[in-house]
């Protein structure tokens, strides 16, 4: 991540220093979506929930506490250093997987902000920090790692490099797709499938004209 990008990252509400606040805000959304009155936050959290896979995400707090309790129990129950190392590797892999799903959702929510809509290249727009893999803790070393694609309309597992190619083609190409604010999940899923399932090339047939 460049120095300028880091500075922009630190100035955003998603910076790590504010992570606890954002996490609690997201937990509140999962408990009661109507309690989040800001439409941008609601759209962002809705996308995070859907990116987790089929159905709605669940509050993370109880899961995190349960996992911490499990690790502690294993550690105090005589588990060797090898077992603890394995648990650390599993936890790190889970964090990277979650980061990939957040990255996919970031492109769905904000990719239109950097779509190539100006053929003359005269429109100067600020970069969108959370479209950078580094913003989510992902780097070049992760590009050939195969991850679950969550609710992405693609193969179930793909290398990060191919996932990025897909979402960049779909959401930052010459079509600016902005639909995550739609409340009707069925309609939103239809648009998502049309975009991602054809990698951004909309070829609507006659049956879709009705």
Work out how many domains the chain is built from and give that number: 1
pLDDT value, residue 43? 74
Lowest mean pLDDT of 6-15, 43-52, 106-115, name the range. Answer: 6-15
pLDDT value, residue 82? 55
- List, for residues 108-152, the tens digit of each pLDDT value: 999 999 988 887 777 788 889 999 999 999 999 999 999 999 889
Statement: residue 21 has pLDDT above 80: no
| 65 DSSP assignment | H
Average pLDDT, the chain: 73
Instruction: Give 47's strand partners.
Output: none
> How far are the Cα atoms of 107, 120, 122 from residue 167, in angstroms, in the given order?
6, 23, 24
Task: Give me the sign of the Cα torsion angle 197, 203, 204, 207.
Answer: negative
pLDDT value, residue 1? 46
Supply the pTM of this predicted model.
Answer: 0.57
pLDDT band (50, 70, 90) for residue 16: very low
Select from 169, 147, 151 the least CA-distant residue to 160. 147
153-171 mean pLDDT: 93
The listed range with the strongest mean pLDDT (18-32, 33-47, 159-173) is: 159-173
Q: Which domain holds residue 137?
A: 3-209
pLDDT value, residue 204? 42
The listed range with the strongest mean pLDDT (22-26, 34-38, 63-67, 167-171) is: 167-171
pLDDT value, residue 68? 52
pLDDT value, residue 171? 93
Per the CB < 8 A criterion, the answer to whether 100 and 115 are in contact is no
11-23 mean pLDDT: 51
Statement: residue 78 has pLDDT above 80: no
pLDDT band (50, 70, 90) for residue 81: low
3-state class (DSSP) for residue 123? coil
> CA-CA distance, 135 to 12, in Å (whole number)?
11
């Amino acid at each position: 991540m460049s120095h300028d990008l880091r500075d922009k990252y630190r100035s955003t509400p998603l910076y790590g220093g504010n992570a606890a606040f954002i996490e609690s805000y997201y937990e509140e959304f999962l408990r009661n979506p109507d309690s989040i009155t800001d439409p941008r936050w609601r759209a962002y959290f809705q996308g995070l929930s859907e990116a987790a896979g089929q159905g709605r995400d669940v509050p993370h707090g109880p899961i995190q506490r349960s996992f911490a309790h499990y690790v502690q129990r294993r550690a105090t129950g005589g588990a060797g250093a090898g077992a603890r190392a394995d648990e650390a590797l599993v936890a790190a892999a889970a964090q990277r997987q979650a980061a990939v799903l957040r990255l996919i959702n970031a492109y769905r929510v904000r990719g239109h902000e950097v779509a190539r809509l100006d053929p003359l290249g005269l429109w100067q727009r600020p970069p969108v920090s959370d479209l950078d893999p580094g913003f989510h803790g992902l780097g070049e070393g992760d590009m050939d790692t195969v991850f679950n694609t969550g609710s992405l309309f693609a193969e179930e597992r793909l290398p990060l490099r191919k996932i990025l190619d897909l979402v960049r083609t779909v959401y930052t190409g010459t079509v600016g797709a902005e639909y995550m604010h739609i409340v009707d999940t069925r309609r939103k899923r239809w648009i998502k499938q049309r975009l991602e399932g054809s990698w951004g090339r909309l070829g609507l047939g006659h049956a879709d004209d009705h």
